[in-house]
Amino acid sequence: RFNFVKRLVDFTPKDELLEIARRIAPLGWHVVVYFEAADLPGMITLDHEATGEDRSGALGTFAGPGSARVAFRDGVLAGFVVRAPWGGGATVARTVDDARTLLHARLVAAGPERTVRCGIVLDNEAGAAALETDGWTEAWRAPRLIRGRPLTWRPTMLFGQFNHAMG
């Protein structure tokens, strides 16, 4: 379950959105909203926690109201999706349920005639199992390849990549 709140035309102060998130939290709902520049620092922090990389340049370049959505749970940034111009998209979420919320919002926005894909690395078995339960079918998965020093990363937070070279 999710609630999609539009922030493009009628500006809703963030405090009001956080109050909405707090009030619907007991229902198990999240709030998914269009990206605003104020969301970027939290997205960069969450992305670094998930990937172990500094992708702030890519996120800052690609994130915009037409290409990014953010999810809040209990008033806290729970995840985001940022679509790249070539069609890939970074989807990062604190929990499997947060990812499911973002992916469901993408499905609703795409409509029944369009295909929605997400890319899960092999190390995200919990994510793959949850999405199979939701009716997603596996097309393919791949390992994350790292050259150089090992990264401290959390594969269970990754549900989509910009592309195979950027993660």
pLDDT in tens, 36-78: 899 999 999 999 999 999 999 999 999 998 899 999 887 789 9
What span, in angstroms and rounded, lies between the C-alpha atoms of 36 and 17? Answer: 13
Strand partners, 121: 142
pTM to 2 decimal places: 0.81
12: Cβ contacts below 8 Å, ≥ 6 apart: 5
Contact between 120 and 131 under an 8 Å Cβ cutoff? The reply is yes
The pLDDT value recorded for residue 14 is: 65
Sign of torsion over alpha carbons 6, 71, 119, 68: positive
What span, in angstroms and rounded, lies between the C-alpha atoms of 117 and 119? Answer: 7
Amino acid at residue number 47 = D
The pLDDT value recorded for residue 94 is: 96
What span, in angstroms and rounded, lies between the C-alpha atoms of 113 and 77? Answer: 30
Residues lower than pLDDT 50 in the chain: 1-9
Regarding beta strands 89-93 and 2-5, do their DSSP bridges make them parallel or antiparallel, or are they unpaired? unpaired
Contact between 79 and 68 under an 8 Å Cβ cutoff? The reply is no
The pLDDT value recorded for residue 143 is: 81
The pLDDT value recorded for residue 55 is: 93
The pLDDT value recorded for residue 145 is: 81
Buried b (16+ CB within 10 A) or exposed e, 40-76: beebbebbbebbbeebeebbeebbeeeebbbbbbebe
